[in-house]
Chains A and B, each alone.
Chain A
Amino acid sequence: MSRPPTASELDLCLCHSCGLACDMHDEPHQCPRCDAPLHRRKTNSLGRTWAYLLAALAFYVPANVLPVMNTMMLGSGADSTIMSGVLEFWEHGAWDIALIIFIASIAVPGVKFVALSMLLITVQRGSTWAQQQRSKLYRFVELIGYWSMLDVLVVALVAALVKFQSLGDIEPRPGILFFGLVVVFTMLSAMSFDPRMIWDTPPDKELMDDPIQQ
């Protein structure tokens, strides 16, 4: 089956904000319909995606090692990390909730690190391997991205509720800050990645460097 023409072949450019197919004949800098800046490819996509991804990876360590909250019950306090929260549910037989937290907090960021690095490396090598599947993988990464925020919101709610001074008190701990940063940075990383690069084989240096803006 022959593939349809691409936007660059027709000298068109997709506006990211309103979705208009813009005519690039006179090299406009802005979308004629919504005034958003036009880029044939996201600006400096590879560099930005790597940078956000590595920043997220660096925060992933303290996010999992440091305690995310402290539970004080009748004078005895205990710090808990994300993994110990999962294990606690598991030991109490609530395997379904343990699974939800495990997927949202540990598996999803892990999958994002692996998937985005794989996408970045294959794009840099100009690989034509499994392009359609890689496209699908990117859409999946975008879809699951923000669900990792789950733990931050759980800790926030629980900490807001349990405020009984000496009888019982739950407080957030710095781990949750790093954890939230992991989520924000992986989201930014996925947003900076331009899935159209998967199909730019061989890699089109001119498009990636974005001649319109510079």
Chain B
Amino acid sequence: MSTPEQLIICEHCDCVYQKALLAKHQKTVCTRCGGVLQRHNGLTVEQRLALSFTAAVLWLFANFYPVMSISLQGLKNSATLWDSVLALSQGPITFMAMVAAISIIIAPAFQLMLLIWVLGFALTARRSPAFKLCMRWLETLRPWSMLEVCLLGAMVAVFKLAGMLDVLPGIGLLALAVLSLLMIRIAGRDIRDLWDMP
């Protein structure tokens, strides 16, 4: 029998297959339940690391520049992501502020730090210190990182407010848009490929 590294188990129905080599745009699908087993990813370690740095810069822009600003009869106000977390922290609903902070600020930040850490070492074909811990945290964080939801939320907020006052999307919104798309590409499950390195 082949070694465990060459086998792949369908996480949806427990069927066992041999790993296949995929070409561009190809994926393998479980014959029993139809779940995706493997998906081709065209990114090399270098490209992935470069994109992670890009994403880290965009994260800074998304967090330190206002997502949007509004004006009402000469009065102006703008809000960053952190401001919106703070807006939830008042009163009995503080718990939601924590959930929001994790899903739109903290989880993506940790994902990016971990990615840069493990990929930086992978560049020299080494495993980073605490590699196992980092990889497991990347798995744990993924479902709680909700930047793309935040992006849609910001766009809905623009429309919600546009009826009563003037709304101006800020640099933060643009950064958020690009960042959320980048995160889908670089922090997805195919990061597991790093385990196959010697």
Spell out A's residues near B (CB within 8 Å). Answer: 1, 3-8, 10, 12-14, 16-23, 33-36, 73, 85, 89, 92, 94, 97, 100-101, 104, 131-132, 135-136, 138-139, 145-147, 149-164, 167-168, 171-174, 176-177, 180-181, 184, 187, 191, 195-196, 198-199
What is the total number of residues of chain B having a CB less than 8 Å from a CB of chain A? 66
Chain B residues, CB < 8 A from A161: 68-70, 77-79, 157, 161
9 contacts between A and B (CB under 8 A): A6-B14, A35-B132, A146-B143, A168-B164, A172-B93, A176-B88, A177-B93, A180-B100, A198-B33
Q: Tell me if B146 counts as interface (CB < 8 A to partner A).
A: yes
Chain A residues, CB < 8 A from B14: 6-8, 14, 196, 199
Shortest distance from the beta carbon of A103 to any chain B beta carbon, whole Å: 11
Chain A residues, CB < 8 A from B34: 132, 135-136
| Complex CA distance for A155 and B154, rounded to whole angstroms | 10
| Complex CA distance for A104 and B149, rounded to whole angstroms | 10
Determine which of A34, A89, A138, A177 lies in contact with B135 in the assembled complex, contact meaning CB atoms within 8 Å.
Answer: A34
- Which positions 125-167 of chain B face chain A at CB distance < 8 Å? 132, 135-136, 139, 143, 146, 149-150, 152-154, 156-157, 159-161, 163-165
| Complex CA distance for A167 and B164, rounded to whole angstroms | 12
Given known contacts A21-B8, A158-B160, A191-B143, is B88 in contact with A164 (CB within 8 Å)? no
Assess whether B103 is in contact with A196, with CB atoms less than 8 Å apart: no
4 smallest CB-CB distances across A and B, nearest first, come from: A153-B153, A160-B79, A160-B87, A156-B84
Assess whether A20 is in contact with B195, with CB atoms less than 8 Å apart: yes
Assess whether A135 is in contact with B12, with CB atoms less than 8 Å apart: yes
Shortest distance from the beta carbon of B173 to any chain A beta carbon, whole Å: 10
Q: Tell me if B22 counts as interface (CB < 8 A to partner A).
A: no
Assess whether A12 is in contact with B135, with CB atoms less than 8 Å apart: no
Q: A5-B16, A199-B14 are in contact. List 20 more A-B contacts (CB 8 A).
A: A4-B31, A7-B16, A8-B14, A12-B16, A16-B11, A17-B139, A18-B195, A20-B195, A21-B16, A73-B164, A89-B160, A104-B152, A146-B146, A147-B149, A156-B96, A161-B157, A161-B161, A163-B77, A177-B92, A187-B143
Assess whether A158 is in contact with B146, with CB atoms less than 8 Å apart: no
Q: Tell me if B67 counts as interface (CB < 8 A to partner A).
A: yes
